[in-house]
Amino acid sequence: MPETRELIEQRLKSLLERARRIDDHRRRPAPADSEEQAADAETDEVLTGLDESTRQEIARLRAALERLDSGDYGRCVRCGAKIPAARLAAIPEATSCVKCAAGAGG
Ligand SMILES: [Zn+2]
């Protein structure tokens, strides 16, 4: 699904660009001793200034790209059903079908 990948990558890119801008604004000396952040990639350090929802969306988009790579993309993580194309078009990073998303809020 090359189109889907492009869509997700574009979204991810724009979020990361926004993150970078926010980071430029909020740049300040960060403690170098944070164990959790030490192991992560440079993009993650950009995200520290972002609000939770943006970080979660970035994480979901990254997960979706991984699922594209592994071939799991488009399958519900809860019940294994195929996620309808219309839902994926609306929410490319969706990991569950409509039924499961409605039942579990995610
Ligand atoms: Zn499901």
Indicate the domain borders of the chain.
Answer: 2-28+44-104
What does the pLDDT average to over 7-34?
78
| Residue 21 host element (H or E) | helix 2-26
* Distance from residue 77's CA to the centre of ligand 1 (Å): 7
* Distance from residue 18's CA to the centre of ligand 1 (Å): 32
Handedness of CA 34, 35, 39, 41 (dihedral sign): negative
* Distance from residue 74's CA to the centre of ligand 1 (Å): 11
What does the pLDDT average to over 9-22?
88
* Distance from residue 103's CA to the centre of ligand 1 (Å): 9
Is pLDDT above 60 for 67? Answer: yes
What's the pTM? 0.68
Is pLDDT above 70 for 33? Answer: no
* Distance from residue 79's CA to the centre of ligand 1 (Å): 4
Q: What would be the CATH architecture of the domain defined by 2-28+44-104?
A: Up-down Bundle (1.20)
Burial class (CB in 10 A: 0-12, 13-18, 19+), 104: exposed
Q: Which of 27, 24, 19 is nearest to 52 (CA)?
A: 19
Is pLDDT above 60 for 105? Answer: no
pLDDT confidence of residue 106: 45
Q: Which two tokens stand for residue 66?
A: 């991984």
* Distance from residue 100's CA to the centre of ligand 1 (Å): 4
